[in-house]
Structures are given as C-alpha cells and as structure tokens.
Structure 1
Amino acid sequence: MSHDRGRDGGVELRAVEKDGYAAWTRACQTGFLRSDVTDEDIALAPSMREMIPGRVLGAYDGDRCVGTFRTFPRELTVPGGGLLTACAVSSVTVTATHRRRGLLGAMMSRGLPGARERGEAVAILIAAEYPIYGRFGFGPATWTTEWTVDVPRTQLGRYEPPGGGRVDLADAAEVRAAGPALHDRFRRAVPGAISRREDWWQVATGGIRPPHRQWKEPFYALYRDASGRVDGLLVYAVEDVWEGKLPQCPLTVRHALAATPEAERALWHFALSVDWTAKLVTGLRPPDDVLPLLLGDPRAARVTTHGDYMWLRVLDVPAALRARSYATTGSLVLQIHDKAGLANGRYELTASTEPGASEVRTTTRDADLAMDVRELGALYLGDESAVRLAALGRIEELTPGAAARADLLARTSRRPWCPDMF
C-alpha cells in the first residue's frame, strides 16, 4: 500500500480499508459541518453504500482522519447520445484544523491519475464552492436554475394531454418499479445526465431513510402515453398554509423527469393546477427549461437560483473528444495545457456528426486554439462558448475565426444538464 503526504509531513494520505470506513465517514460528516452524527447516520450514509476498495482515500494525522476523498464510476451522457465512463469525485473534505496544508491537492494527485489508468476519460464533481476546483483542471460544464412561479398569474387554461395521454397519482412502489427504466430513457437523451444506482430510488421514495433527514411522504404523479407507457414522473410536496380563510399553499417539486416533450408539458400543467396552490417552486432545473414559456404569462416564473452545477475535468483528451458527436464536420488543432500532465499536449480533432466516429491524434501542426484543461472541461458538453472564453482571455485564438469554428462544432441546441447530486 502506497502512502503519500501533503505539505505537512505529519499528515499521511492512504487508501482506507473496510474496517476504517465508519471513522472515515464520521470525518466526512464533520467536514460538511454535521456535528450530531450518530452511528445509525453513518451506517446509512450514501458514501457507505458505495465504497470501492482503492478508491476511498483518507488523510490521517496520527490515528485521526482529517481529510476525505472518494471516487466511483458513473456513466455520463455526452452530446450525440454517446455514453462515457466518468470518474465521479465525491465526499471531498478537509477538517477545519488542517486546511491549507496541501491535503486536497495530495488527494487529487492520487485519485485522478488512478481514474485515467482505469480508462475513465473524464472526472466529474459537484462543486460546493466555485473557486476550489479550477486549479485542479475542472471547469463548470453544466448550470442549473430554479424558478418560483406565482400560480394565479400563470394564465393557464384547462389542459388535456395530447394523443390520449394521462396523468395519474401513484404510490412509492409504482415509482420504484417504473422509475429506473424511465430515467434510463431520459438520461440517454440529455448530455450531462448520469446513471443512477438502484438505491437512489429507495432514498427518493423513502425506502431508505437516513436518520438525519426528516422524511415526509410526498405525492407522486406519473404521465402515461396512450399505450400506457410511463413517459414522465413528478414528485412533489405541498404545505398546508392558509391566511384569512384563503389558501396560500406552496408546492415544491422534489423530482421531475420526462422522456418526451408531451410528458413534460403535461406534468408541469398538472402541477400548476393542484388545488389551493399559490406558489410553485420548481427545484433545480436545466437553465433553458421550457417551463417559463409554457405559461400564458412567463413573468409569473421568477428565477430564484441560478449557478454552476456539475464540473468536468478531461483526463484523456482523445478518448473524451471521440466519445461525443459534433454539430457538423470540420477540424481543429487544440493546444491543451495541464500542469498535472494528464491531458497536456497538442491534438488534432477531425469531427464527425456520429458519436465515436471522430478522429483525434497528437500532432505537431500549429495550434488553432490554446487553453488550459479547465477551459476544455467547460466546453466539452457544449454549454460554454469558445468565443466568450476567448473574449475573457481564457482561450488564446491562434488562427483567426477558430473560436467561432469551435462553437459551430461543439455547442448543443439544448443546454446540457445534470439533475443529480453525487
């Protein structure tokens, strides 16, 4: 077993064995400022359900765990519908007493090369704070938005689902039965979406209830098309709030999933038609969600949250660029700077409109664009603009018009979105 150290030579980095998982999980919870963690909390913590030997790292000051880091595989949908095995980075903490000693850098330096060796072409994470992960080569690849809707102002009339579709209330068992197949259809069509473990559905429907999370059974609604196929799911909760004999009940969407546009429109219309509801909170949605324009008065939907969400770090440039498709054919030579050395190099992309059909090779030809690997991460799923990054000075345009050409190739018609926390 190899051991590494941060800048503080007294702290040792090592892989965590099974008998150390509980203490590691307690340190992780402490890092996330949870002080009232019980043994039952630890036993049911999400991290305890996906500990992979060799992929759980801890920083130890003597016998005390003061830093945590773990990775696990997730299937990531890339533009064009290609599927790429990604290294999901999670449970990243450094205890407050041991900050600024190089521990996070040491854990990244150990974890990311191992992912590349396993054939994982990109790493992904959800960044709690914006400034942390750019220095490790991650760039914000998807964004997310939440709306609060003033329901009386929506100007929605009576809605009949097209083609004989219907919305039915359901119970948790029906959702656990229908949800995985529905999600698999949905995520294969949405760049940025990731695969889910089976126990995700247990947690989302109360089958597994971590003690520190107060559980209140939500409502479940399924949209079925005319053939009876489940094409959409809505999970929501409603608070019973009245003021002066008038209902002011807020409805909060916990999960919304639609595999077809018809299902998406029908479920939003249903949610906005629930009796006594005065306000609807959408939960985190794609930043170009159809919801505001679905309303008779789009101003009834007010943005209450908007920000970066899933960050991406390219580990293997040829494998990552080949996995996705491009809007048109063409070629670009990219100079990628990566101080960690994982993605450093000059690459020629000959783009194809079919996933997996592009050619990528190292080259000595003059580069068209030069950038840090973090900018490549922001561009990879098609959300960011190379022209905008060039205007910010984050990309160097070495061939006139190359940034616009990169946008023509790589950007997507709908913005990528990751609906999952991991």
Structure 2
Amino acid sequence: MTAFRTPPYGGRMGNDAQQGTDQGIEIRPIVHEELAAWDRAIARGFMRPHVAPAKEWRELLFEPGRMLAAFDRTDPTADGPRCVATFRSFDTELTVPGGAVLPVDAISAVTVNATHRRRGVLSGMMRHDLTAARERGAAAAILIAAEYNIYGRFGFGPATRSGGQRVDVLRSGGLRAGLPVHEGHRIGFATLDEVRRLGPELHERWRRTQPGAIGRPASWWQLRTGGVELPGFDWKEGFTALHRTADGTVTGLITYTVDEKFDGSYPDCPLNVRDFLALDRRTANALWAFAFSVDWVRHVVVPNLRSDEPLPLLLNEPRAARPHEDDADFLWLRLLDLPAAFAARRYTAPGRVVLDVTDREGWTSGRWALEAAADGTGRITRTEDDADLALGVAELGTLHLGAETATRLADAALVTELAPGAAARTDTLLRTARAPWNPDVF
C-alpha cells in the first residue's frame, strides 16, 4: 500500500495547497477495515446526515487501491487518524462517435471536509489517480462536477449536457397522430426480476448507439431495483414498462414514478421519468406515447435527456415543453492518451487541422495534427507544423465527443485561432449527427 503526503504549494496540480508537505495529512488507498470511516467521511464531505452505515453498498463497490482517503494524523479519533477526504475511481467504457468504446477512469465520491479545504488534498488525490489511470492504459478520465470551477484546472472539460424537459400534458395536446412505430409492437409492465434480467442486455445494446454513454455495472442495477440498500438513497420501486417488437425482442424501456397530487378533486399528477432507453426512433415514439397516455398525469417530467432529443417536436403543441431546471453540463472528460482517444471515434468529413495543446501535467502538451479520411477514420499525431488552433486539454475534452463547437469556444475566448477559419475546420472534422449524452450519475 502506497502512502504519500499532499503536494507543495505551486506544484503543477497544487495551486489549491497553502502549506508545504509537512501538514500531517497522509493520502493513501484505504483497506477494507476502513470502509466505515470512509463512509462517514463521505457523508460529511457531501454535508449529508449519516443516517446509517452503508456497509453493504460500500463493500459491493470496494476495490483495493481504488478508494482513496486523506487522513489527518494531527486529529486522531479512537480508531486513529481522522479520515477527512474521500476519492473513488473505477474502470468503465465510454462510447464515442461511431459506436466504439474507450477505456476510461471514472471518478466519483470526491469530497474534502470543510475543515481541510485549500490544503492540496484534492490535488494530491487527483494526481495519484490520473497517473495510475495512464499507467493502466485509460485513454481518458470522466466525472460529474458538482461545481463548475473545480475540475478545469485538472484538465477536465464539460463533454455532455443534460437537456431535460417538463411538459404540460393538457397544453401539449399529446403526441401527434401518425408518428411511426413498430407494427405489432406491445408495451407491458415488468417485475423487478425482469428488469434485473432484461435491463442489462438492453442497455449494453443501447449504449453502443449513444456517444457519451458509459457501462452500467451490476451494482447499478442492484441499487436501482432495490437489490441493495443505500441509507439516505430515497428509492421507490416505481413502474418499468418494456417495449417489445412483434417478435418479442425488447427494444426499449421506461422507468417512472407518479406523485399523487390533486387540485381539489382534479388530478394534477407529475410523471417523473427515471430511465428511458430506446434502440430506435419507432420504439422511442411508442414509449413517449405511452407516457403521455397515463391517467391522472398532468405533467411529464424528464430531468435528464439528450439535449437534441426531439420530444417537443413530437407534440401537437411544442410550446408546452420547457427546459427542466436541471438542464446543465453533465459528464466531464479529461483526455489522457490523445492518439487512442481520437483514433477510436469516427469522423463525418475529411480534413486536417493542427492543434497546439497545453496541459499543466505535460501529458498531452504539444502540437498535434488531427487528420480525418474520407472513410470516416482519423488519427492525431505529433507534428512540427505551424498550429491552426491553440487550446487547453480541458477545451479539447469538451470538443472530443461533439458536445460543443470550436467556433463557439473561440467566440468565448476559450480557444485561439492561429489561422483564419481554423475553428470552422475543426468543427467540420468533429461534428456529430446526434449530441453526446450520458444519463447515469456515478
């Protein structure tokens, strides 16, 4: 087991450190016996009441070397130094444009107690994890940022967006008549056992059609079907309906809850969509029609949806749909291996652009020629040619999946054109037919 102290102030990832290395803080992977202390520290870090030990859930997720903690040796408890920060990562796959998957390091459970901010703790944990991820061969790292201004300095950029919708069912007039659906399809409710059995295979098929999607481990399905309890996680069984084509093939799923709410004697219930998977447009149309047909429902609420999902355009009155209040950036991406990341994805047009990339860690710094061929393949290689576009690795991560345009970033002074039209040429190379989307918190 490796232990290390927090980095000195002014290190490449140490701008949040105010003291030197002799701070009495030790950062290291935890052992199994320290799960209880780690569990309490994560509740403190997220400022949540520790209602009960999450023993079963933490043991399910425990992987030696992948749960980090910071221990303050100057503030001991009965069990030893106090755990004041947490950090967890795990390996998963990220779908990129074209349907290929990248091996990535998924970062979660990042907390630093309020008493230990600005002491380099997060920088130390992040550097340790990203270095190890590169050594394992991860092409990138991903996370979901609770605060916008924290992770850019570590090279992460927002790479997907959630485009949730809140639809007034009565004002919408429901879905337009005649939308294409599978002939002979059927929709039926599923038991929890059926969801556990059929859901993972459906998701595996779906995630390869959606850039930005990641894998769902077995623990994901257990938590969301009541197979394991997480204290403080407000789980309700809800309803899951499966879409089957005429031959019985499962091609879609919708999971939702309905809040019982009445305006006097009139039903005024919101239907809250938790999960929505559709392998094709005909399946999606049928599932949305089903959601809008449920009795008592006045609003269909979808907190997280692909930003270019055409749901409003399916309605008789599109103005009845308005953005959900949680509409925001979602998945953040930190590129670690540029050749692997750019060779994996597909390209919609041929072209070439030279990028001058800055990276505080030096892992991706330098000039890179991004080239795409007419057959949709591409590569990025080091070059001595003059650069067309200057940008940081965080901005390159924002562009990689196609969620943002270089032209917009240039207008915002987040990237710099060094040659006329460079941003537009970059957009031609990296544009995608559909927006990247990740529906899963991790």
Please, what TM-score do these two structures have when normalized by structure 2? 0.91
After superposition, residues 10-49 of structure 1 pair within 5 angstroms as: 10-39=24-53, 42-45=54-57, 47-49=58-60
Tell me the residue number matched to 2:14.
none
Tell me the residue number matched to 1:215.
235
Tell me the residue number matched to 1:133.
151
After superposition, residues 330-409 of structure 1 pair within 5 angstroms as: 330-352=351-373, 357-409=377-429
Give the whole-Å Cα distance in 2 for the aligned partners of 1:335 and 1:68: 35
Contact 2:255 2:275 in 1 (8 A): yes
Q: Are residue 163 (structure 1) and residue 144 (structure 2) matched?
A: no
Contact 1:248 1:277 in 2 (8 A): yes
- Counterpart code for 1:87: D
Kindly report structure 1 stretches of 4+ aligned residues shifted beyond 3 Å: 157-162, 352-355
Q: Are residue 228 (structure 1) and residue 256 (structure 2) matched?
A: no
Q: Secondary structure at the match of 1:335?
A: strand
The alpha-carbon deviation at position 329 of structure 1 amounts to 1.6
After superposition, residues 201-350 of structure 1 pair within 5 angstroms as: 201-305=221-325, 306-350=327-371
Structure 2, unmatched stretches of 5+, are 8-16, 74-80
Tell me the residue number matched to 1:66.
84
Alignment length (residue pairs): 418
When residues 34 and 48 of structure 1 are mapped into structure 2, their CA distance, relative to the original with a 3 A threshold, is: farther
Tell me the residue number matched to 1:122.
140
Tell me the residue number matched to 2:67.
56
Give the whole-Å Cα distance in 1 for the aligned partners of 2:209 and 2:195: 21
- Counterpart code for 2:56: L
Tell me the residue number matched to 2:205.
185
Tell me the residue number matched to 2:438.
418
Tell me the residue number matched to 1:4.
5
CA RMSD of aligned residues (A): 1.7
Give the whole-Å Cα distance in 2 for the aligned partners of 1:162 and 1:118: 44
When residues 314 and 354 of structure 1 are mapped into structure 2, their CA distance, relative to the original with a 3 A threshold, is: farther
Give the whole-Å Cα distance in 2 for the aligned partners of 1:58 and 1:65: 6
The alpha-carbon deviation at position 255 of structure 1 amounts to 1.0
Tell me the residue number matched to 1:79.
97
Single out whichever of 203-212 and 99-108 deviates more from structure 2.
203-212
Contact 1:159 1:269 in 2 (8 A): no
The alpha-carbon deviation at position 64 of structure 1 amounts to 0.7
Please, what TM-score do these two structures have when normalized by structure 1? 0.95
The alpha-carbon deviation at position 25 of structure 1 amounts to 2.1
Q: Secondary structure at the match of 2:298?
A: strand
Single out whichever of 206-215 and 161-170 deviates more from structure 2.
206-215
The alpha-carbon deviation at position 287 of structure 1 amounts to 1.2
1:117-171 per-position Cα deviation (integer Å, ceiling 9, x unaligned): 1110111000001111111111000000221111111223677943111111221
1:198-217 per-position Cα deviation (integer Å, ceiling 9, x unaligned): 12112212222323233332
When residues 121 and 14 of structure 1 are mapped into structure 2, their CA distance, relative to the original with a 3 A threshold, is: same
Give the whole-Å Cα distance in 2 for the aligned partners of 1:138 and 1:352: 28
Q: Are residue 152 (structure 1) and residue 170 (structure 2) matched?
A: yes
- Counterpart code for 1:333: V
Give the whole-Å Cα distance in 2 for the aligned partners of 1:50 and 1:286: 28
Of 201, 218, 222, the residue aligned with 1:198 is 218
1:312-362 per-position Cα deviation (integer Å, ceiling 9, x unaligned): 01111111111111111221211110011121121112224667x423221
Give the whole-Å Cα distance in 2 for the aligned partners of 1:406 and 1:158: 40
Structure 1, unmatched stretches of 5+, are none
Give the whole-Å Cα distance in 2 for the aligned partners of 1:21 and 1:352: 50
Contact 2:61 2:219 in 1 (8 A): no
Give the whole-Å Cα distance in 2 for the aligned partners of 1:377 and 1:167: 39
The alpha-carbon deviation at position 77 of structure 1 amounts to 0.2
The alpha-carbon deviation at position 99 of structure 1 amounts to 0.6
Q: Secondary structure at the match of 1:327?
A: coil
- Counterpart code for 2:162: T
Tell me the residue number matched to 2:76.
none
When residues 50 and 321 of structure 1 are mapped into structure 2, their CA distance, relative to the original with a 3 A threshold, is: same
1:362-414 per-position Cα deviation (integer Å, ceiling 9, x unaligned): 11111111111110010010111001111111111112111101100101121
Q: Secondary structure at the match of 1:164?
A: coil
